[in-house]
Structure 1
Amino acid sequence: MPRQEALVEPLNVSLLSFREALQIMDTERLISLRRGNRGSVVVHTPTRTSAAYMLGLLLQSKSIALADLGAALQELEPACAALAAQ
């Protein structure tokens, strides 16, 4: 991973916000942080439970009703199935 200082500018966030986001992802076990000169970030595949939790937070933050998500899926699934069948 590039140095944190090199990542904050294109993301248009402060170094403090970037580090806080890394800490949150580490707490949620989405990544593992190894600190120091040879530090690294290891990305983990989320569990179903953590993915559902994160999706719930996203839906809540955007004020999206679960019924609206279900309706969107009903519209998208047939189109996706048709594309996959080609």
Structure 2
Amino acid sequence: MRVFVTGGAGYIGSHTCIELLHADYELTVIDNLNNSKRESLRRVEKLTGKTLDFYETDLLDTAGLTAAFEANPPAAVIHFAA
């Protein structure tokens, strides 16, 4: 099952990503990196030994969100973006 995590590169979002990957969910992270860094997601992948899909876009960018949703249709969304 695929889960979208908005704000997934932040502190709470990245820790949630670790737990979801350990539970064998497929992840798509959407984050504009205003208050976070891409490095946190690289560390998530290193800690879990799994990969995730990442879209650097703002939630107000409808074209970016549409592209993410069309490429990886989610079963659920967890929203941490501020």
- As a proportion of its length, which structure holds more helix? 1
Which entry has the higher C-alpha Rg, 1 or 2? 1
Structure number with the bigger relative contact order (C-alpha 8 A, sep ≥ 6) is 2
